[in-house]
Amino acid sequence: MKIIFRSLTFLLFIFTAGLAVADQYNSTKSIGAYTAGCIRNAAALPKDGTGYQVIRLGRGRFFAHTETIDYITTLSEKVNEELGGLLLIADISQQTGGPMPDDHSSHQIGLDADILFWQHPVAKKRSLTVKERQYINPQSVLFPGEYGIDPNKWSTTQEQILMLAASDPRVDRIFINPVIKRELCTNYSGQDWLAKMRPWYGHDGHFHVRLKCPNGSASCEAQAPLANYGDGCDELVTWFREDGTVKTRRKSGTSVQKRLPDECIAIMNGKY
Ligand SMILES: [Zn+2]
């Protein structure tokens, strides 16, 4: 009897250990830093869903952590139901994550997503063709020279979209142009959600959502929270010249590219 019990315990141990190993290989994991990392078992965002359409499918940047997919689909449903809006989803991550050949330094671990401000009139009526989606360029919502928001391209809809986007507790921060943050500070001063809205260069045609490291991604490197940031409206002045335009970007010549974790090099080479 004792022997049978022991063998059963042993079998149970083997079975549980096996499940743990299987889980390690089947579940999505974000590995490394937002600017130097990768994804294991990324999920693909379907190209259409309630309240959203993915653009530029040919770039193959619609892969993400499952938590990000859930975030985007949940947000899009709310935008559709509550605002009658539609989100055009641009870059998220490549299938294995990792550095992209152009423009982004982040978007490497499946937790960053670019979403256009533009409420595309045709996309609101029908699903755009693959070709139409490929050539969509985010329209800036600012006047040329970035001195203010063009009211023809901005309305309370965009503000409410940002409010909804920031209200999900999974969101760490959302990058927007300083001019847009200035507008939000004028209209919503003191409100908690503004703390997540972070001014950054560009980001005048899309906003960039960054989720926190999800549970189960032990080697995902979280970003340090900003101390005493409040709603962030006070520090905004540092972004502007006296005439109210955004300062030019300083060249960050000394920044060293972070090294990719070894696990990522294996994943990106298909050896895992
Ligand atoms: Zn981005």
pLDDT in tens, 211-263: 999 999 999 999 988 778 889 999 999 999 998 889 988 766 556 678 999 99
Q: How far is the CA of 9 from the centre of ligand 1 (A)?
A: 50
Give the environment of ion ligand 1: residues with CB less than 5 A.
114, 208
More confident site: 8 or 259: 259
May I ask the CATH architecture of the domain 30-217+229-268?
Answer: 2-Layer Sandwich (3.30)
Q: How far is the CA of 88 from the centre of ligand 1 (A)?
A: 13
Q: How far is the CA of 264 from the centre of ligand 1 (A)?
A: 21
Pairing verdict, β 87-89 and 52-54: parallel
Pairing verdict, β 36-40 and 171-176: unpaired
pLDDT tens string 134-179? 999 888 999 998 889 999 999 999 999 999 999 999 999 999 999 9
pLDDT tens string 51-65? 999 999 999 999 999
Q: How far is CA 201 from CA 28, 223, 247, in A?
A: 31, 19, 9
Run of H or E residues at 39: strand 36-40
Sheet strands side by side (includes 112-116):
48-49, 52-54, 87-89, 112-116, 206-211, 171-176, 197-199
CA distance 62 to 64: 7
DSSP string, 49-117: ETTEEE--GGG---EE-HHHHHHHHHHHHHHHHHH---EEE---B-TT----SSS-SS--SS-EEEEE-
Q: Are 227 and 235 in contact (CB under 8 A)?
A: no
CA distance 228 to 220: 25
The residue with tokens 């022997």 is: 3
pLDDT for 3: 61
Q: How far is the CA of 196 from the centre of ligand 1 (A)?
A: 15
Q: In terms of pTM, does the model score above 0.85?
A: yes
Tell me the H-state helices in the chain: 2-26, 66-83, 130-134, 156-167, 178-188, 262-268
pLDDT tens string 58-105? 999 999 999 999 999 999 999 999 999 999 999 999 999 999 887 678
Q: How many helices (H) and strands (E) does the chain have?
A: 6, 11
Q: How far is the CA of 152 from the centre of ligand 1 (A)?
A: 24
Pairing verdict, β 171-176 and 197-199: parallel
Q: How far is the CA of 62 from the centre of ligand 1 (A)?
A: 13
Question: CA angle at residue 100 from 89 to 120, to 5 degrees?
Answer: 20
Domain boundaries, the chain: 30-217+229-268
